[in-house]
Amino acid sequence: MQWHNHTRVVLVRHGRSTFNEQGRYQGSSDESVLTEAGQIAARQVGKFLQGTKIDVIYASPLRRVQETVHELLVGIGTTDLASIHLVEHLREIDLPAWEGLTFKQVREQFADDYRCWKQYPHQFQMEAADQTFGLAIGNSSAVAALKTRCFPVLDLYDRVKQFWQNILPQHVGQTLLIVGHGGTNHALISTALGLSPAQHHIIQQSNCGISVLNFASDFDDFAQLQALNLTGHLGETLPKLKEGKHGLRLLLLPSNDLSSEQTEQLAKWLKEVTIDFSLSADLDSLNQSQNTAEKILRFHPTTVQLQVYREDFRKFG
């Protein structure tokens, strides 16, 4: 694997849209547009990316993404559209039977399908849009409609794999900005990291959240995930959890890779975040893990601190 001339990909999800606001499934329909809050957030992304050299922009052709790109460029301070490519492969997942329906309507009207969508996305299927074709019967003709089934998640993953195969070899050593959708960005990140369609829902992509992938110059292996769903530029310390999401939330820190200055910055950044417990390990003689935890938790006197021994941790090479 060769990293000396790697390709960097910055992924951004579009800003909050009218369908997001209304709690409706968007899919690859093109009725939804950015709200005022979505426009403001897109400009904040642009300001955050000021100073980042971007060689080319790839974007979905749907309006909510094109509007995001426009506002993002305003935030960066440029109107140069020469390097923007609208690519069909980046449109949102196709959900023809659900597009425009509210989340509540889908849960109630398609209960079994919804359960499959959430629990077994790789098996999820729905009726596709009717395909029409002409029939000649004697001296007359007729139009018939053929109903077919589609596998939205599998189809999406096939589509984004083709995108990576087509695009990456053209941009060795460059920085790409990709502006897409929640579902599409899920699939782009998953395929780059070797995650299967069965794991489609494990990655969160907030509106105007930023993720960063690094690809080795020989594209001989999976990508390196540098950042996932950053929302600090939107005024959030940590991304807001999607509605209905519960359970344990883990913040993983590489203790041996953080400088004293970085640890101090992180401690201040997490100062207002509620931390229920801390888990550190004696993985080295200097006990860097415990020292890092103590520096961060000085602002969190009620946090339960736990320590485990080296043999309890599985170490990856």
Report the catalytic residues. 14, 92
C-alpha distances in angstroms, 67 versus 20, 88, 141, 193? 15, 16, 44, 29
Pairwise CA distance, residues 287 & 266, whole Å: 19
**Single-letter amino acid code for the residue at 152:** P
| Residue linked to tokens 């955050």 | 48
Beta strands in 90-154 (DSSP E): 126-127, 131-137, 140-146, 149-150
Nearest Cα residue to 101 out of 32, 13, 155, 34 = 32
DSSP 8-state secondary structure symbol assigned to residue 30: S
**CA-based R_g, the chain, Å:** 23
Alpha helices, H only, 146-249 = 152-167, 182-193
